[in-house]
């Protein structure tokens, strides 16, 4: 059976229209992806710059750290000594903690964002906004209440990353890449965004209703990160708690906002 010239022409037009539409959607997706990467780059630059703008008054930060330790001791949650001893006694444990601290904070968070983005706007936009809001709250703490980490307190704790600096890419002065340690504000212990971002990953997996095993892995990731950041003497236990709180506040704020204006949860990716 032969197709009439008119039918063939209509078919060609339909196929061309479909192709143009597909290219248009692909172009829009690429453009949206570039914009998202730019937004995340701005977030990271702001994260780094705000830490550098914070006060470098060590005496004030030291006093605040001692107050945190006294509070933890009163409430019997001061786990810093025992965890730090655990990471300091064994080189393999110390190396594990060092690489975990210097790597997962960025890689796992970025991987979760990319995965969510590929799933679509429904959950991605909410999660990304919550991460931004929680991070901004954390940065406000760095500017307003600079706090010394355990590793800077009178030699009472072993700086695990410094102990294993030759085995990794980080500087002996901080977890920044070697040679850039001087650009990092070391009085930004409160709150711990390592802990906050790790909890964010766990909440993202739970909200996405993925298989239980992956939800459990997300929770384990948040727990291990919290143990590592305290054990390596980079954060106090209370830093972990407040880090979790700021991310929780980020989600609460964003979800309340989106509930009042339902369209804002999706318009960014589909406009």
Over residues 23-35, the pLDDT tens digits come to 444 555 566 667 6
For residue 16, which phi and psi values (nearest 5 degrees)? -65, -40
pLDDT digits (tens, 9 = 90+) for 175-210: 656 555 555 678 889 999 999 999 999 999 999 999
> How long, in residues, is the chain?
271
Tell me what percent of the residues of the chain surpass a pLDDT of 90: 56
Q: Using CA of residue 35, residue 191, residue 137, residue 245, what is the dihedral sign?
A: positive
**Has residue 99 got a pLDDT over 80?**
yes
Task: Compute the distance between CA of residue 54 and CA of residue 50 in angstroms, rounded to an integer.
Answer: 6
Adjacent-strand bridge partners of 71: none
Instruction: Provide the pLDDT confidence category of residue 20 given band limits of 50, 70 and 90.
Output: very low
Task: Compute the distance between CA of residue 194 and CA of residue 160 in angstroms, rounded to an integer.
Answer: 16
This prediction has a pTM of 0.83
**Has residue 43 got a pLDDT over 80?**
no
pLDDT digits (tens, 9 = 90+) for 104-137: 998 999 899 989 988 877 788 899 999 999 999 9
Is residue 48 classed exposed, middle or buried when 0-12, 13-18 and 19+ CB atoms within 10 A define those classes? middle
192-214 exposure pattern, b = at least 16 Cβ within 10 A, e = fewer: bbbbbbbbbbbbbbebbeeeeee
């Amino acid at each position: 059976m032969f197709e009439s010239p008119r039918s063939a022409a209509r078919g060609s037009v339909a196929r061309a229209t479909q192709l143009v539409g597909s290219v248009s959607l692909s172009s829009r997706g690429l453009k949206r992806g570039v914009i998202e990467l730019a937004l995340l780059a701005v977030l990271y630059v702001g994260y780094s710059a705000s830490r550098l703008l914070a006060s470098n008054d060590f005496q004030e930060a030291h006093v605040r750290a001692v107050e945190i330790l006294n509070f933890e001791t009163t409430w019997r949650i001061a786990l810093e000594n025992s965890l730090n001893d655990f990471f300091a006694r064994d080189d393999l444990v110390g190396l594990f903690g060092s690489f975990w601290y210097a790597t997962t904070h960025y890689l796992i968070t970025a991987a979760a964002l990319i995965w969510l983005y590929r799933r679509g706007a429904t959950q991605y936009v909410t999660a990304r906004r919550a991460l931004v809001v929680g991070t901004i709250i954390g940065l406000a703490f760095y500017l307003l209440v600079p706090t010394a980490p355990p590793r800077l307190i009178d030699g009472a704790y072993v700086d695990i990353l410094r102990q294993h600096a030759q085995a990794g890419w980080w500087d002996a002065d901080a977890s920044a890449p070697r040679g850039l340690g001087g650009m990092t504000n070391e009085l930004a212990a409160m709150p711990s965004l390592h802990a906050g971002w790790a909890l964010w990953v766990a909440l993202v997996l739970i909200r996405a209703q993925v298989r239980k095993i992956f939800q459990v892995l997300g929770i384990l990731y948040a727990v291990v990160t919290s143990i590592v950041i305290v054990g390596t003497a980079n954060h106090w236990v209370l830093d972990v708690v407040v880090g979790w709180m700021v991310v929780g506040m980020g989600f609460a704020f964003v979800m309340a906002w989106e509930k009042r204006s339902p369209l804002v949860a999706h318009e960014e990716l589909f406009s």
